[in-house]
Amino acid sequence: MTAATDIQISDMDRARADLYNFLGALLARPPEEMLLTQTAGLQGDDTELGKAIATLAKLAKVTKPKAAVSEFNKLFVGLGRGELLPFASYYLTGFLNEKPLALLRQDMMARGMQRSDTVFEPEDSIASLMEMMAAMIVGRFGPPADLTAQKDFFNRHIGPWAGHFFTDLEEAKTSVFYSPVGTVGKIFMSVEAEAFRMSGAS
Protein backbone atom coordinates (compact mmCIF):
# COMPACT_ATOMS: atom_id res chain seq x y z
CA MET A 1 0.00 0.00 0.00
CA THR A 2 1.34 3.42 -0.91
CA ALA A 3 2.02 5.72 2.00
CA ALA A 4 -0.24 8.73 2.21
CA THR A 5 2.78 11.02 2.09
CA ASP A 6 3.80 9.60 -1.32
CA ILE A 7 0.59 10.75 -2.98
CA GLN A 8 0.43 14.31 -4.23
CA ILE A 9 -2.69 16.17 -3.19
CA SER A 10 -3.69 18.98 -5.53
CA ASP A 11 -4.11 22.55 -4.31
CA MET A 12 -7.80 22.27 -5.20
CA ASP A 13 -8.24 19.19 -3.02
CA ARG A 14 -6.35 20.81 -0.15
CA ALA A 15 -8.65 23.83 -0.42
CA ARG A 16 -11.69 21.53 -0.38
CA ALA A 17 -10.38 19.70 2.68
CA ASP A 18 -9.63 23.00 4.41
CA LEU A 19 -13.20 24.19 3.88
CA TYR A 20 -14.64 20.90 5.14
CA ASN A 21 -12.39 21.15 8.21
CA PHE A 22 -13.33 24.80 8.74
CA LEU A 23 -17.05 24.02 8.68
CA GLY A 24 -16.46 21.05 10.98
CA ALA A 25 -14.60 23.25 13.48
CA LEU A 26 -17.36 25.88 13.51
CA LEU A 27 -20.07 23.25 13.99
CA ALA A 28 -18.35 21.03 16.55
CA ARG A 29 -18.17 23.61 19.33
CA PRO A 30 -18.54 27.37 19.82
CA PRO A 31 -15.72 29.24 18.07
CA GLU A 32 -13.08 30.58 20.42
CA GLU A 33 -11.39 33.92 19.86
CA MET A 34 -8.61 32.41 17.73
CA LEU A 35 -11.07 30.80 15.30
CA LEU A 36 -13.14 33.98 15.12
CA THR A 37 -9.96 35.94 14.34
CA GLN A 38 -8.98 33.44 11.64
CA THR A 39 -12.49 33.63 10.19
CA ALA A 40 -12.38 37.43 10.19
CA GLY A 41 -9.20 37.26 8.12
CA LEU A 42 -10.74 35.19 5.31
CA GLN A 43 -11.07 36.78 1.90
CA GLY A 44 -13.61 35.77 -0.71
CA ASP A 45 -13.60 36.12 -4.48
CA ASP A 46 -16.40 37.05 -6.89
CA THR A 47 -17.94 33.57 -6.91
CA GLU A 48 -21.13 32.86 -4.99
CA LEU A 49 -19.11 30.87 -2.45
CA GLY A 50 -16.46 33.58 -2.22
CA LYS A 51 -19.06 36.26 -1.52
CA ALA A 52 -20.59 34.10 1.22
CA ILE A 53 -17.14 33.64 2.80
CA ALA A 54 -16.57 37.41 2.67
CA THR A 55 -19.89 37.98 4.44
CA LEU A 56 -18.95 35.46 7.13
CA ALA A 57 -15.57 37.17 7.60
CA LYS A 58 -17.24 40.57 8.10
CA LEU A 59 -19.57 39.14 10.73
CA ALA A 60 -16.72 37.35 12.51
CA LYS A 61 -14.97 40.71 12.96
CA VAL A 62 -17.84 42.01 15.10
CA THR A 63 -18.72 38.75 16.90
CA LYS A 64 -17.48 38.34 20.47
CA PRO A 65 -16.67 34.83 21.75
CA LYS A 66 -19.33 35.11 24.48
CA ALA A 67 -22.01 35.94 21.89
CA ALA A 68 -20.85 33.03 19.72
CA VAL A 69 -21.15 30.64 22.67
CA SER A 70 -24.66 31.86 23.44
CA GLU A 71 -25.74 31.53 19.81
CA PHE A 72 -24.18 28.07 19.44
CA ASN A 73 -25.93 26.81 22.56
CA LYS A 74 -29.33 28.15 21.46
CA LEU A 75 -28.90 26.57 18.03
CA PHE A 76 -27.52 23.19 18.98
CA VAL A 77 -27.83 22.60 22.74
CA GLY A 78 -30.71 24.49 24.36
CA LEU A 79 -32.79 23.26 27.27
CA GLY A 80 -33.30 19.64 26.28
CA ARG A 81 -32.45 20.39 22.64
CA GLY A 82 -31.46 23.34 20.51
CA GLU A 83 -33.29 24.90 17.60
CA LEU A 84 -31.60 22.45 15.20
CA LEU A 85 -30.62 18.79 15.49
CA PRO A 86 -27.58 18.49 13.21
CA PHE A 87 -27.62 14.72 12.67
CA ALA A 88 -28.10 12.67 9.51
CA SER A 89 -30.45 10.21 11.23
CA TYR A 90 -32.75 13.00 12.36
CA TYR A 91 -32.86 14.73 8.98
CA LEU A 92 -33.39 11.49 7.05
CA THR A 93 -35.72 9.59 9.40
CA GLY A 94 -37.03 12.10 11.96
CA PHE A 95 -35.32 10.22 14.80
CA LEU A 96 -31.82 10.06 16.28
CA ASN A 97 -29.60 6.95 16.19
CA GLU A 98 -31.40 5.33 13.26
CA LYS A 99 -30.27 3.41 10.16
CA PRO A 100 -28.20 6.26 8.65
CA LEU A 101 -25.97 6.16 11.75
CA ALA A 102 -25.60 2.38 11.55
CA LEU A 103 -24.63 2.60 7.86
CA LEU A 104 -22.12 5.35 8.63
CA ARG A 105 -20.52 3.27 11.38
CA GLN A 106 -20.11 0.39 8.91
CA ASP A 107 -18.40 2.69 6.42
CA MET A 108 -16.21 4.22 9.12
CA MET A 109 -15.04 0.79 10.21
CA ALA A 110 -14.29 -0.20 6.62
CA ARG A 111 -12.22 2.96 6.14
CA GLY A 112 -10.35 2.72 9.44
CA MET A 113 -12.09 5.71 10.98
CA GLN A 114 -13.32 5.80 14.56
CA ARG A 115 -14.91 8.33 16.86
CA SER A 116 -12.53 10.28 19.09
CA ASP A 117 -12.65 9.42 22.79
CA THR A 118 -13.40 13.08 23.49
CA VAL A 119 -16.53 13.14 21.28
CA PHE A 120 -19.72 11.86 22.88
CA GLU A 121 -22.39 12.72 20.31
CA PRO A 122 -23.39 10.30 17.51
CA GLU A 123 -20.95 10.06 14.60
CA ASP A 124 -23.53 11.27 12.06
CA SER A 125 -23.36 14.88 13.28
CA ILE A 126 -22.70 17.44 10.56
CA ALA A 127 -19.45 18.46 12.26
CA SER A 128 -18.11 14.90 12.32
CA LEU A 129 -19.08 14.27 8.71
CA MET A 130 -17.34 17.46 7.55
CA GLU A 131 -14.19 16.37 9.39
CA MET A 132 -14.40 12.83 7.97
CA MET A 133 -14.67 14.14 4.43
CA ALA A 134 -11.63 16.36 4.94
CA ALA A 135 -9.70 13.43 6.40
CA MET A 136 -10.52 11.24 3.40
CA ILE A 137 -9.39 13.89 0.92
CA VAL A 138 -5.96 14.42 2.52
CA GLY A 139 -5.45 10.84 3.71
CA ARG A 140 -5.55 11.18 7.48
CA PHE A 141 -6.68 7.54 7.84
CA GLY A 142 -4.33 6.00 5.27
CA PRO A 143 -3.93 6.89 1.59
CA PRO A 144 -6.04 9.80 0.34
CA ALA A 145 -9.38 8.55 -0.98
CA ASP A 146 -9.78 8.65 -4.74
CA LEU A 147 -12.62 10.58 -6.34
CA THR A 148 -14.85 7.51 -6.57
CA ALA A 149 -14.52 6.80 -2.83
CA GLN A 150 -15.10 10.47 -1.99
CA LYS A 151 -18.18 10.58 -4.20
CA ASP A 152 -19.56 7.38 -2.67
CA PHE A 153 -19.10 8.67 0.90
CA PHE A 154 -20.59 12.06 0.04
CA ASN A 155 -23.60 10.59 -1.75
CA ARG A 156 -24.30 8.08 1.04
CA HIS A 157 -23.80 10.22 4.12
CA ILE A 158 -23.68 13.94 3.30
CA GLY A 159 -25.44 14.77 0.03
CA PRO A 160 -28.95 13.56 0.98
CA TRP A 161 -29.32 15.98 3.91
CA ALA A 162 -26.45 18.42 4.50
CA GLY A 163 -27.80 21.02 2.09
CA HIS A 164 -31.12 20.99 3.95
CA PHE A 165 -29.36 21.38 7.28
CA PHE A 166 -27.26 24.31 6.08
CA THR A 167 -30.36 26.00 4.66
CA ASP A 168 -32.07 25.57 8.05
CA LEU A 169 -28.98 27.00 9.76
CA GLU A 170 -28.94 29.96 7.38
CA GLU A 171 -32.61 30.71 8.17
CA ALA A 172 -32.76 29.75 11.86
CA LYS A 173 -34.27 32.46 14.05
CA THR A 174 -31.31 32.22 16.45
CA SER A 175 -28.69 32.47 13.69
CA VAL A 176 -26.64 35.65 13.45
CA PHE A 177 -22.99 34.64 13.09
CA TYR A 178 -24.14 31.18 12.02
CA SER A 179 -26.42 32.43 9.26
CA PRO A 180 -23.52 33.00 6.82
CA VAL A 181 -21.97 29.73 8.06
CA GLY A 182 -25.17 28.14 6.76
CA THR A 183 -24.85 30.02 3.48
CA VAL A 184 -21.24 28.93 2.98
CA GLY A 185 -22.14 25.32 3.80
CA LYS A 186 -25.20 25.30 1.54
CA ILE A 187 -23.27 26.65 -1.45
CA PHE A 188 -20.29 24.39 -0.83
CA MET A 189 -22.49 21.29 -0.64
CA SER A 190 -24.09 22.29 -3.95
CA VAL A 191 -20.68 22.83 -5.57
CA GLU A 192 -19.42 19.46 -4.31
CA ALA A 193 -22.54 17.60 -5.45
CA GLU A 194 -22.28 19.12 -8.93
CA ALA A 195 -18.55 18.42 -9.16
CA PHE A 196 -19.07 14.78 -8.22
CA ARG A 197 -21.93 14.51 -10.72
CA MET A 198 -19.76 15.96 -13.49
CA SER A 199 -16.69 13.92 -12.59
CA GLY A 200 -17.93 10.67 -14.08
CA ALA A 201 -16.46 8.81 -11.09
CA SER A 202 -18.52 5.75 -10.26
Q: 163: domain range?
A: 9-199
Residue 1 forms part of a structural domain: no
Residue 127 forms part of a structural domain: yes
Tell me the CATH number at 134. Answer: 1.10.3480.10
Residue 130 forms part of a structural domain: yes
pLDDT at residue 113 in the model: 87
Please state the domain count of the chain: 1
Residue 164 forms part of a structural domain: yes
Residue 3 forms part of a structural domain: no
Among 53, 84, 98, 50, CA closest to 162: 84
Residue 2 forms part of a structural domain: no
Q: pLDDT tens string for the chain (202 positions)? A: 334 445 688 999 999 999 999 999 999 999 999 999 999 999 999 999 999 999 999 999 999 999 999 999 999 997 678 999 999 999 999 999 999 999 999 999 998 888 777 767 899 999 999 999 999 999 998 899 999 999 999 999 999 999 999 999 999 999 999 999 999 999 999 999 999 999 876 6
